[in-house]
């Protein structure tokens, strides 16, 4: 007598069957979409070219901004690898000249750079200058000339190592790369956030990390201010790898450079003494 399949195995088989059918349907749907795009591409190209020639730039910008939400996620998280960006947006057809014409595509990319908040983590800082001066699309559009918002995250390593110290050999390179932000064409209207992210460790470790980062960033922020660049210095901690509420400490730079340097030195000495006591 044939044994009846167990209930659990039966449920799994049903789920597998439904998934297979969905996958086939999705592939068929994707094929239909590709076919439809190829059929309408000539008309889309004609419409985009006619639109660009007939409508003034101010109104065209409003249209590009309506297209932006579909690109926001890719741009705001993907601009870390600007050289790979064109390959990340293969489905966003209005960024490609062969679909909408070179002028429409170029202006759309310009709006993308203006609206996106470019995000760089510690591992990317040494490439900031190169990334912001790279014409990834080869349209003659440089991010440095159009960007209006940028965030740089300095993250303390989970093992307690603090990679950014003013005395480290690499710190000068980090500062050199970040100084490229002072050459933004839209510097007066660009918001730059320098975020110090720390692990949720004992308070003295977090204070130690904060002092180290302040020591390195101290002269850079004064240079930003002198160049008229809008800059904020924010502090946050991470819980389960997710950043918590940020605290704005930019007010520290209301002091003179000499006074703040002295303060940071005093804080550093206090932390050093506390650490020595704990070791003993």
CA gap 153, 178 in Å, rounded: 12
Show which of 99, 116, 133 is a domain's final residue. 116
pTM score above 0.85 = no
Residue 251 lies in a domain: yes
Q: Classify residue 131: in a domain, yes or no.
A: no
Domains held by the chain: number:
2
pLDDT, one tens digit per residue, over 198-220 is 776 667 777 777 888 888 889 99
**Three-state DSSP string of the chain:** CCCCCCHHHHHHHHHHHHHHHHHHHHHHHHHHHHHHHHHHHHHHHHHHHHHHHHCCHHHHHHHHHHHCHHHHHHHHHHHHHHHHHHHHCCCCHHHCHHHHCHHHHHHHHHHHHHHCEEEEEHHHHHHHHHHHCCCCCCCCCCHHHCCCEEEEEEECCCCCCCCCCCCCHHHHHHHHHHHHHHHCCCHHHCEEEEEEEEECCCHHHHHHHHHHHHHHHHHHHHHHHHCCCEEEEEEEEEECCEECCCEECHHHHHCCHHHHHHHHHHHHHHHHHHHHHHHC
Instruction: Give pLDDT, residue 16.
Output: 64
Do 198 and 244 share a domain, yes or no? yes
What CATH number does residue 231 fall under? 3.30.1330
**Ordered mean pLDDT values, 10 residues apiece, the chain (280 residues):** 54 64 70 72 86 93 80 49 48 77 90 79 76 81 84 64 49 81 79 82 74 87 89 80 76 92 86 61
- What is the pLDDT at residue 259? 93
Same domain, yes or no: 153 and 226: yes
Length of the chain, in residues: 280
230-245 pLDDT, tens per residue? 899 998 876 545 556 8
For the chain, state the CA radius of gyration.
Answer: 26
Based on the fold, state whether residues 184 and 110 are members of the same structural domain.
no
Q: Give the residue numbers spanning the domain of 207.
A: 148-280
Residue 55 burial (CB count, 10 A): 13
Query: Is 154 found in the same domain as 269?
Result: yes
């Amino acid at each position: 007598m044939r044994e009846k399949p167990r209930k659990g195995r039966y449920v799994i088989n049903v789920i597998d069957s439904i998934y297979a059918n969905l996958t086939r349907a999705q592939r068929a749907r994707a094929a239909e979409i590709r076919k439809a795009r190829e059929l309408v591409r000539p008309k889309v190209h004609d419409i985009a070219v006619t639109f660009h020639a007939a409508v003034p730039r101010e109104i065209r910008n409003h249209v590009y901004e309506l297209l932006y939400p579909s690109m926001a996620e890719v741009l705001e998280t993907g601009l870390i690898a600007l050289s790979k960006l064109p390959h990340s947006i293969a489905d966003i057809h209005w960024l490609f000249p062969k679909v909408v014409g070179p002028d429409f595509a170029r202006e759309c990319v310009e709006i993308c750079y203006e609206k996106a908040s470019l995000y760089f983590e510690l591992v990317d800082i040494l490439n900031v200058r190169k990334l912001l001066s790279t014409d990834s699309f080869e349209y003659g559009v440089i991010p440095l000339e159009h960007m209006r918002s940028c965030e740089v995250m300095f993250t303390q390593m989970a093992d307690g190592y603090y990679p950014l110290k003013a005395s480290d050999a690499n710190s000068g390179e980090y500062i050199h790369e970040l100084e490229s932000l002072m050459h933004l064409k839209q510097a007066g209207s660009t918001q730059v956030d320098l975020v110090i992210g720390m692990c949720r460790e004992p308070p003295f470790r977090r204070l130690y990390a904060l002092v180290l980062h302040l020591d390195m960033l101290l002269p850079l922020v004064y240079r930003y201010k002198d160049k008229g660049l809008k800059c904020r210095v924010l502090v946050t901690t991470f819980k389960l790898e997710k950043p918590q509420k940020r605290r704005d400490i930019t007010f520290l730079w209301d002091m003179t450079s000499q006074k703040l340097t002295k303060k940071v030195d005093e804080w550093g000495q206090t932390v050093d003494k506390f650490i020595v006591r704990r070791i003993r």
